[in-house]
Structure 1
Amino acid sequence: MATANRWLRPEVYPLFAAVGVAIGICGFQLVRNILSNPEVRVNKEKRAAGVLENFAEGEKYKEHSLRRFLRNRAPEIMPTINRFFSDPK
């Protein structure tokens, strides 16, 4: 019970949240690579094919929807705050 009281304090919740988000991102990337990466072959039949020259599938994997969404946007985290401090009055 002393261990639970030590780790389940309210001060530790942000640490749990940060670690949980990091594990979620790693899990998402792992599942994405296993299911849709053209260079990862889980089935024995696909592994027997050897090296494939399938550039269209690789381009489809690389140009995912998030990348297409962010392509023409400025690389800013908080654009309103950036404009407030950087634009002349």
Structure 2
Amino acid sequence: MATGASANMWRRWLRPEAYPIFATTGVAVGICVMQLVRNITTNPEVRVTKENRAAGVLDNHAEGERYSRHGFRKFIDGRSREIMPALNSFFTDPPKY
């Protein structure tokens, strides 16, 4: 009986229509895991080992700057905050004839 119920469950959930929700959920979980690992390994305020926790509060501003100015933030600095700047300028600044 368990085999029939298990097969029925797989038929219900593993349909091609459900693949996009599985993919988006997988991407979201991946982003969460990536951020968790980044915070545990590189955040200057997170101390996992006992020796680091015993150090107390450190005023190491260079380490905090390295953490906050990560590669993606450096990549987007100086760029337009618009998603489609060409399309936005087309509609906001129409050509004058």
TM-score by shorter chain over 0.5: yes
Among candidates 53, 56, 66, match of residue 59 of structure 2: 53
The unaligned stretches of length 5 or more in structure 1 are none
Q: Which has the larger radius of gyration?
A: 2
Counting only pairs closer than 5 Å after superposition, residues 71-82 of structure 1 correspond to structure 2 as: 71-82=77-88
The unaligned stretches of length 5 or more in structure 2 are 1-6
Provide the rounded CA distance (Å) in 2 between the counterparts of 1:88 and 1:6: 52
Counting only pairs closer than 5 Å after superposition, residues 8-87 of structure 1 correspond to structure 2 as: 8-87=14-93
**Structure 1 length-normalised TM:** 0.90
Provide the rounded CA distance (Å) in 2 between the counterparts of 1:81 and 1:73: 16
Provide the rounded CA distance (Å) in 1 between the counterparts of 2:57 and 2:10: 52
Deviations 1:42-71 (A, max 9, x none): 111100001111111001100011101101
Q: Sequence identity, in percent?
A: 62
